[in-house]
């Protein structure tokens, strides 16, 4: 919860009292294995999920069972804060690794929102940034090659892990299987495997288990046409 608050404060000013109210948010913590559906698509939410440990994905499922992961959430992210505004879900949430998720009841969040307007703006801003990532991925999926998309994701996760103080932008732990990564990038697992090999041969990617190193960040950014602005949106807004 501290990490969530920390990142909220990057964009939205909150008084000390407001900050403490957020830290005091209740919620049951649930531990799950990898590859479990935490929220099944088509539910009506009565709580929002905060990632306490592990790596979690929001996904959209097609009739044939294929999944597209539409968002990755790391420690300190709320997966579905927007469900406070709109509780019906088309999407689902799955654990990508062994994870711990805190289910924060909407009743508690709503109490905050009703008590002062700053919370609503802060939460809204958080979901807007989530949406700007979605829009970027839209462009990537529509207009870029698998190689550029993979490079882009690696750049993005590097920045996000660094902001979250979970790693450095060119060296971090990213415990995701190739099949899951393929579901993020909208390719098959086979093709993803070959794409990763291509990046390795270009000297842009080194993997060691789930450890990712990006030896030539500059060139990787060029391949990805990566501009981190969309991740840093909304610095120091007014209330």
Partner DNA sequence: CGTGACCTTGATGTTAGTCAACGAATGTGG
Partner DNA sequence: CCACATTCGTTGACTAACATCAAGGTCACG
- Contact residues for a copy of itself, defined by CB under 8 A: 11, 42, 58, 60, 62-63, 66-68, 70-71, 82, 85-88, 90-91, 113-114, 117, 120-121, 123-125, 127-132, 134-139, 141-144, 185-186, 225, 227, 229-230, 233-234, 237
Nearest distance in Å: CB 53, DNA: 17
HSE (side-chain half, CA atoms, 13 Å) at 188? 3
Q: Is 78 helix (H, G, I), strand (E, B) or coil?
A: strand
Residue 4 or 137 with smaller CB distance to a copy of itself = 137
Residue 213 in the binding site for DNA (CB under 7 A): no
Residue 52 or 79 with smaller CB distance to a copy of itself = 79
| List of residues 6+ apart from 31 with CB closer than 8 A | 98, 99, 100
* Strand runs labelled E in the chain: 28-32, 36-39, 47-53, 56-61, 67-73, 92-95, 99-105, 171-173, 206-208, 211-213
From CA 52, how far away is CA 28, in angstroms rounded? 11
Q: Which of 19, 61, 120, 193 binds DNA (CB under 7 A)?
A: 193
Residue 105 or 234 with smaller CB distance to a copy of itself = 234
* Strand runs labelled E in 63-125: 67-73, 92-95, 99-105
Q: Which of 43, 68, 127, 188 binds DNA (CB under 7 A)?
A: 188
From CA 207, how far away is CA 151, in angstroms rounded? 14
Nearest distance in Å: CB 29, a copy of itself: 26
Restricted to residues 154-173, the positions that interact with DNA (CB under 7 A) are: none
Structure tokens at 36: 């479990």
Q: Which of 107, 138, 145, 168 binds DNA (CB under 7 A)?
A: 145
Using CB under 7 A, which of the segments 10-18, 84-92, 115-123, 195-203 binds DNA? 195-203
From CA 34, how far away is CA 115, in angstroms rounded? 37
Q: Which of 107, 115, 197, 237 binds DNA (CB under 7 A)?
A: 197
Output Rg (C-alpha) for the chain, integer angstroms: 18
Residue 7 or 147 with smaller CB distance to DNA = 147
Do 73 and 58 touch, CB atoms closer than 8 A? yes
Report residue 169: phi and psi, to 5°: -65, -25
Nearest distance in Å: CB 146, DNA: 4
Residue 147 in the binding site for DNA (CB under 7 A): yes
Residue 90 touches which member of DNA, a copy of itself, none, C-beta under 5-8 Å by kind: a copy of itself
Interface with DNA (CB under 7 A):
34-35, 145-147, 177-179, 186-191, 193-197
């Amino acid at each position: 919860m501290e990490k969530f608050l920390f990142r909220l404060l990057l964009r939205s000013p909150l008084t000390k009292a407001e900050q403490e109210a957020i830290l005091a948010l209740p919620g049951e913590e649930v531990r799950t294995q990898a590859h479990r559906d935490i929220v099944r698509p088509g539910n009506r939410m009565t709580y929002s999920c905060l990632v306490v440990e592990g790596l979690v994905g929001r996904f959209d499922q097609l009739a044939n069972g294929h999944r597209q992961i539409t968002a990755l959430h790391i420690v300190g992210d709320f997966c579905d804060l927007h469900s406070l505004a709109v509780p019906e879900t088309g999407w689902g949430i799955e654990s990508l690794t062994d994870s711990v998720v805190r289910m924060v009841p909407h009743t508690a969040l709503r109490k905050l929102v009703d008590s002062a307007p700053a919370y609503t703006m802060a939460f809204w801003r958080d979901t807007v940034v989530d949406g700007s990532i979605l829009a970027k991925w839209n462009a990537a999926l529509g207009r870029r090659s698998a190689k550029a998309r993979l490079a882009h994701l690696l750049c993005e996760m590097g920045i996000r892990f660094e902001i979250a103080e979970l790693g450095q932008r060119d060296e971090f732990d990213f415990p995701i299987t190739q099949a899951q990564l393929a579901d993020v990038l909208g390719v098959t697992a086979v093709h993803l495997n070959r794409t990763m090999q291509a990046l390795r041969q270009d000297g842009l990617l080194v993997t060691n288990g789930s450890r990712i190193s990006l030896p030539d960040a500059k060139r990787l950014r060029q391949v990805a046409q990566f501009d981190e602005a969309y991740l840093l949106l909304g610095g120091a807004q007014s209330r």
